Amino acid sequence: MAATAALVESFSVPRSCSISKCWKKKNTTMLPQLTLSPINKTAANSCCRHHVISCEAAKVPRRNALALMLSSVIIMQDDSYAIALTPQSVVLREYIDSFDGYSFKYPKNWIQVRGAGADIFFRDPFILDENLSVDISSPSSSSYKSVEDLGSPQAAGERVLKQYLTEFMSTRLGVRRESSICSTSSRVADDGKVYYQVEVNIKSYANNNELAVMPENRIARLEWDRRYLSVLGVENKQLYQLRLQTPENVYLEEEKDIRQIMDSFRVFKVSA
């Protein structure tokens, strides 16, 4: 302790001499005399004011910045939502039957079902009610020259509707079918042949309690509502029919793709 006190005392400044006085005495001759020019307060104030104004102009209020960020996020979300809602075109693959003489395009992800009773049958793997098939009249019992042998497109439509209703006849009690022809038309394809197009709608109703005695206890409920589309063409003295089936609500969403499938149907000659 005594040694520490002595050491501190050796570095202590004498009371009679303050630090400022000692510094002045020792360094009076060493300090150069500096002459400072007066400051132009007007110019300084103008420069500072200009700098402040520039900073204020460049500064974005926090509220505006947050609003800008939020609007950018909303716009990005809206764009993503719009892209998600934009209907995507279905990739189509061509099917050619060189033996029977017809071709068409169908969705690439559809699967072929064998033993379905038609000449060819494809089905959507997810929407089981959506499918397409091709039927061909027997060559021994038909001698068509043109699709116009069926009469007008309207007459062909009535024939197609009758064919569908016959196929969907049911022996269940309380089953009722409602049908209508949506449209009939004819077109000349790029192969020079005439094709008929027919669209019909069929609804199936069934009673929830078909064995009930009182009519008020038999309430009819909709079982299914479907759109049936057919393309008819003639070649090799045979009638070819491309048939598409889809639920009515799905048809409204996929009409463009369905039209492409219908327009792709072609019939051509085969060697005897």
Q: Residue 72 — pLDDT band, cuts 50, 70, 90?
A: low
Q: What is the pLDDT of residue 187?
A: 97
Q: At 175, list the tokens.
A: 């089953």
Q: Which fold has domain 92-267?
A: Protein Transport Mog1p; Chain A (3.40.1000)
Q: What are the residues whose beta carbons fall under 8 Å from the beta carbon of 61, sequence distance 6 or more?
A: none
Q: Which residues pair with 220 in a beta bridge?
A: 207
Radius of gyration of the chain (CA): 45
Residue written as token pair 């104030």: 45
Residue written as token pair 């792709």: 264
Q: Which residues pair with 203 in a beta bridge?
A: 178, 225
Q: Which residues pair with 235 in a beta bridge?
A: 238
| Separation CA 260–CA 242 (nearest Å) | 13
3-state helix vs strand vs coil in the chain, percent to 5: 35, 30, 35
Lowest mean pLDDT among 178-182, 209-213, 236-240: 209-213
pTM for this prediction: 0.66
Q: Residue 251 above 50 pLDDT? A: yes
Q: What's the mean per-residue pLDDT of the chain?
A: 78
Q: At 128, list the tokens.
A: 């089981």
pLDDT in tens, 10-68: 444 444 444 444 434 444 444 445 444 454 544 445 444 544 444 444 455 555 555 56
Q: At 12, list the tokens.
A: 């202590």
Q: What are the residues whose beta carbons fall under 8 Å from the beta carbon of 102, sequence distance 6 or more?
A: 134, 136, 233, 235, 240, 242, 265, 266, 267, 268
Q: Residue 116 above 60 pLDDT? A: yes
Q: At 187, list the tokens.
A: 């077109």
pLDDT in tens, 130-141: 999 999 999 888
- What's the whole-number mean pLDDT along residues 151-161? 98
Q: Which residue has the higher pLDDT, 215 or 223?
A: 223
- What's the whole-number mean pLDDT along residues 201-205? 96
Q: Residue 170 above 90 pLDDT? A: no
Strand pairing class (131-136; 120-123) = antiparallel
Q: Residue 205 above 70 pLDDT? A: yes
Q: Which residues pair with 245 in a beta bridge?
A: 131, 228
**With pLDDT > 70 as the criterion, what percentage of the chain qualifies?**
64
Q: What is the pLDDT of residue 87?
A: 52
- What's the whole-number mean pLDDT along residues 154-162? 98
Q: What is the pLDDT of residue 48?
A: 46
Q: Residue 198 — pLDDT band, cuts 50, 70, 90?
A: very high
**Contact call for residues 203 and 224 (beta carbons, < 8 A):** yes
